[in-house]
Amino acid sequence: MITSRQNPKIKLIRKLNSGSKHRSQEGAFAAEGIRLLEEAWEASIHPEWVIHTENIGQRGLQLLDNYQSLHISCEPVTPEVMKAASDTETPQGILAIFSSFSAPLPVSPSLLVIVDNLRDPGNLGTLLRTSLAADADALLLSPGSVDPYSPKVLRSAMGAHFKLPVRALDWPGIAEASRGVSLLLADMKNGSSLWETNLKRPVGIILGSEAHGPGEQARKLADQTIHIPMSAKIESLNAAVAGAVLLFEVKRQRRNNK
């Protein structure tokens, strides 16, 4: 049992949770909580090693059994050590280290989500989860966006990382990944109404941050600008909410076309 906060594994977890630079250097990230690890297991993505407290309930014990069947190291720790390693106020008692992975991007995507300089972890996590729910093929992040493997993004996405291809790319890379797809730039007031736009064709939705909107590179890449019609009493929606409205309009149009 690990009883010291100075244990090398605990130091590594804290390092990985402290910033994207360290996650990139180590080629790894930390994910914690039973629900998140169950989602990873369901997607056949397995951790390098695991730490856990002794009282983790039946679901936690099932996860440990699953890992041990694959000879993945599962090491018990004291509650105090788990709290020191965790990025949350109330740890769930299980935390795993995963090697960085990159699901392949689709060759002929039908629906892409492209986020431009989105920096809020909660917004990105929610957008990842929404993109998966709306059957998006992948989510691409421009330079300047928040690290998708930061602890807050991982928690709010609730396992979407393990099922949806997510890739941070430069703008030429985004252009290459979205070849053959009509790119629609979501703006607050400009462009065609969402409700009057044909979304049955292969499309990519470009979303900017609420604070700054889409940047110059995004505008250059876009084929068309669209907006969500809404009350004049409000200026804008945050990226996660706007993304949900846009993505489920795509899904609605395509469902009606079947």
CATH class of 111-256: alpha beta
Q: What is the pLDDT of residue 159?
A: 93
Q: How far is CA 151 from CA 38, 44, 46, 154, 229, in A?
A: 16, 20, 18, 5, 34
Q: Print pLDDT tens along the chain (258 aa).
A: 999 999 999 999 999 999 999 999 999 999 999 999 999 999 999 999 999 999 999 999 999 999 999 999 999 999 999 999 999 999 999 999 999 988 889 999 999 999 999 999 999 999 999 999 999 999 999 999 999 999 999 999 999 999 999 999 999 999 999 999 999 999 987 899 999 999 999 999 999 876 677 889 999 999 999 999 988 888 778 899 999 999 999 999 998 665
Helix 57-69 to helix 34-42 angle, to the nearest 10 degrees? Answer: 40
- In angstroms, the CA 190 to CA 212 distance is 15
Residues with Cβ within 8 Å of residue 253, at least 6 apart in sequence: 198, 199, 200
Three-class SS of residue 115? Answer: strand
The domain segmentation of the chain, as residue ranges, is 8-99, 111-256
What's the confidence (pLDDT) of residue 214? Answer: 83
Model pTM?
A: 0.92
Q: pLDDT value at position 256?
A: 65
Domain 8-99, CATH number (from 3.90.580.10, 2.40.110.10, 3.30.1330.30, 3.30.365.10): 3.30.1330.30
